[in-house]
Amino acid sequence: MHRLTDSERRNSGIDEAHLPDKDWLLAVLGTYNPLLPYFKKGYVPPPKVAAMQSLSKVDLPEDFLQDLPQSKRKIKAKRLHMISSSKADAKMQRYKILKERFAKEYIKEKNRIDSRTHS
């Protein structure tokens, strides 16, 4: 219905507060131009284009990503290493990273507590 009103540059008056009934739809359809492609017997709507397909490719200069500052985020760098062929491999690699991180934190905390008790 909205395609019809847009093609004829008319306001349909349809919104959530004013939903049409069958009689209203029949009356409106009777007032439209029967020569519109929507009313032809063999009309098939055009295929829907996905949003990513409708985007055109943007040409960037070759040096676009050159001379960028290094990232200061450590987490992002670790995530890049987690790319693997299966979810199980990725999960195991994640557990290894977490194990190493917590082991380092555990040693730091243990040393901090030991230094307090010995002083």
Report pLDDT for 99. Answer: 92
Can you list the residues of the chain whose pLDDT is less than 70? 1-16, 52-55, 74-85, 119
- Residue 79 is predicted with a pLDDT of 54
DSSP H stretches of helix in 2-119: 2-7, 22-31, 51-54, 74-80, 87-118
